[in-house]
Amino acid sequence: MDRDKIVLEMNNIGKVYYGTRVLKDINLSIKAGEIHAILGENGAGKSTLMNILFGMPVIHSTGGFEGEVLIDGSKVDINSPFKAMKEGIGMVHQEFMLIPGYTITENIKLNREITKPNPISRVLGNKLETLDFVQMDKDAKKAIKSLDIGIDEWTKIAGLPVGYMQFVEIAREIDKENLKILVFDEPTAVLTESEAKNLLQAMKLISDSGIAILFITHRLDEVMEIADNITVLRDGQMVANRKKEETNLVELAQLMVGREIEKVERKVNVDKSSVVMKIKDLKVAMPGEEVKGIDLDIFKGEIIGIGGLAGQGKIGIANGIMGLYPSSGEVVINNDTTLKLNNPKESIAKGLAFVSEDRRGVGLLLDTSIELNIAVTAMQNNDKFLKKYGPFTQLDTTGIRNHALGFKKELDIRCTGVDQITRRLSGGNQQKVCIARALTLEPNILFVSEPTRGIDIGAKKLVLDTLVKLNEELGMTIIMTSSELAELRSVCDRIAIICEGKLEGILKPDDSDADFGLMMAGEYKKLVGEEVSNNE
């Protein structure tokens, strides 16, 4: 194996989605047998870059990409996953793509079955050939053995531990002929510590065979253990390329999150002597955002941020407390009222309101007017905007209209009128309608989840300014969950970082980029060796 041979080059790669630039001038060069890690926060551009390499339809249905891809020194046009596989590129996805009722062999050989002639096929053609299970089992056994795992090829997928399923995914890729480059997309995210260790050993075995590996992860300790070279992406740009020996955990953490923070000026009225919400051992069974036992104190009048990488549990906290997913633990409001969990009406009755991260799926009635969207939750839960005539109830249409007009002006909702269908609004204006609906409940505590997701820069500033105004003028306590760390640092008093379903620690907005990066990667406590107080 010639370890100096460059098998993959990606030169000046750029990508624009609907007018928004998500990648700019990315350059990668990977040699045979090299393990090359790609690091970055949510939204850094890692997935888009891999989608380009693997020829995913989402790239080519949105205008393609800028730059060029070279395999073994020759320019290639990878316009589909099939073409990527033909060029020797494989991918092990985060989500398993296995058929539970099939054996390991059948899953490894799916769509690449080996057949052998029989008397009928010799007369009527090779489409009627018989599956050659002996040869397929032999190939599957070889692929499994190369990963050094003890499992029989005839075992069915159903009932296998998650770690073994991951190995079957890998075995399927390395069984393919002419495999040159194998992409691992967050491969250890769903694995236990021992399973993750086995996987890293398997990756080393694969690279020793001459296959180049692209390793996408947020786990810095894994990167430092097995990567030869490391590329860090931030905001769609390449900010660093390092040999492993030339860097360390602290520098990588700093590179991942470092950016200029535009602080929003605000008058802080936090009463640290008054705990408005005490969260004890909160667990939430939200798929993909599971919370595994969190303790957190929320002070009266603060804006507290909840941050962390995707899938680590930060989104589950608000969804669990508001009763949208099964929860356990204890939530105490104002030191004297224990909230009944798993009951959205109870949460609203106790002065909580929620602006969901899924404004189109959960937050809005898209085919209903702006004014009704703003009023509907208060109407259902607080009997607002209803006129009662004996046993009869009628909508207070004038009250609904006037209330919506007030919010239209206050939040600067851009629309043709408050009777406009909400679906026809821009993303930023839809978000303002969600905020108006939550405020109509007159809450004491407001949960806001991903408040600026999918909206333009101007609308982002308006939304953040609105939250600051609510906090300053009404003394409202705001719990803001966001994947945008810079956004949290610009408006929050404290930021709680969630990693693997637990609280990694709490930081001040002006704490170092390295501390934020280490916490998000789950490395802070290990490296610094101290617990960070909830009351910091």
pLDDT at 535: 40
Residue 476 CA to residue 190 CA, distance in Å, equals: 37
> What pLDDT does 316 receive?
94
d(CA 472, CA 267): 6
Q: Give the pLDDT of residue 300.
A: 92
Least trusted range by pLDDT, from 228-237, 351-360, 369-378: 351-360
Closest to 475 measured CA to CA, from 271, 305, 278? 271
pLDDT confidence of residue 131? 86
As a whole number, mean pLDDT of residues 362-380 equals 87
391 or 78: which carries more pLDDT confidence? 78
> Minimum mean pLDDT among 157-161, 191-195, 403-407: which range?
191-195
Query: Cα–Cα–Cα angle for 23, 25, 27, nearest 5°?
Result: 110
Q: What is the pLDDT of residue 281?
A: 96
Say which range, 81-95, 302-316, 340-354, 495-509, has the weakest mean pLDDT.
81-95
pLDDT tens for each residue of 307-321: 998 888 999 999 999
Is the alpha carbon torsion for 498, 500, 505, 511 positive or negative? Answer: negative
Determine the Cα–Cα distance for residues 104 and 171; give it in Å rounded to an integer. Answer: 9
Cα distance between residue 321 and residue 283, in whole Å: 10
Neighbours of 243 (CB within 10 A): 10
* Rounded Cα distance, 225 and 204, in Å: 10
Helix, strand, coil percent content, the chain, rounded in steps of 5: 35, 25, 35
Q: Is the pLDDT of residue 275 over 90?
A: yes
Over 70: is that where the pLDDT of 260 sits? Answer: no
Return the number of other C-beta atoms located less than 10 Å from residue 262's C-beta: 12
State residue 133's pLDDT score: 87
Calculate what percentage of the chain has a pLDDT beyond 90: 35
Give the pLDDT band (50/70/90) at residue 387.
confident
Q: What is the 3-state secondary structure (H, E, C) of 385-440?
A: CEEEECCEEEECHHHHHHHHHHHHHHCCCCCCCCCCEHHHCCHHHHHHHHHHHHHH
How far is residue 256 from each of residues 56, 90, 253, 495, measured CA to CA in Å? 26, 26, 5, 17
What's the whole-model pTM score? 0.70
Calculated CA dihedral for residues 362, 363, 364, 370, nearest 10 degrees = 170
Decide which of 353 and 44 is more confident. 353
Instruction: Quickly state the pLDDT bin for 532 (edges 50, 70, 90).
Output: very low
User: Which domains are assigned to the chain?
Assistant: 6-106+146-247 (3.40.50.300)
Phi, psi of 153 (to 5 degrees): -65, -20
- Cβ-based neighbours of 421, under 8 Å, separated by 6 or more: 366, 367, 368, 369
Residue 533's pLDDT band, with cuts at 50, 70 and 90, is very low
Cβ pair 353, 439 in contact under 8 A: yes
Please say whether the dihedral angle defined by the alpha carbons of residues 524, 464, 41 and 427, taken in this order, is positive or negative. positive
Among residues 410, 409, 416, 404, the alpha carbon closest in space to that of 379 is found at 404
Asked if residues 371 and 401 have their Cβ atoms less than 8 Å apart, the reply is: yes
What is the average pLDDT score of the chain? 86
Residue 294 has pLDDT above 70, yes or no: yes
The residue ranking higher by pLDDT, 212 or 466, is 212
Residue 457 pLDDT: 62
Two tokens, residue 161: 């531990």
Strand order of the sheet with strand 352-355?
A: 352-355, 445-449, 477-481, 303-307, 494-499, 502-507
Task: Answer for the pair 353, 443: CB distance below 8 angstroms, yes or no.
Answer: yes
Three-class SS state of 349: helix
Between 145-159, 255-269, 410-424, the lowest mean confidence (pLDDT) is in: 255-269
Name the 3-class secondary structure at 226: helix
Q: What is the pLDDT of residues 478-507, one digit of tens each?
A: 999 998 888 899 899 999 999 989 999 999
Instruction: Say if residue 447's pLDDT is above 90.
Output: yes
CB 174 within 8 A of CB 206: yes
- Say whether pLDDT at 460 is over 80: no
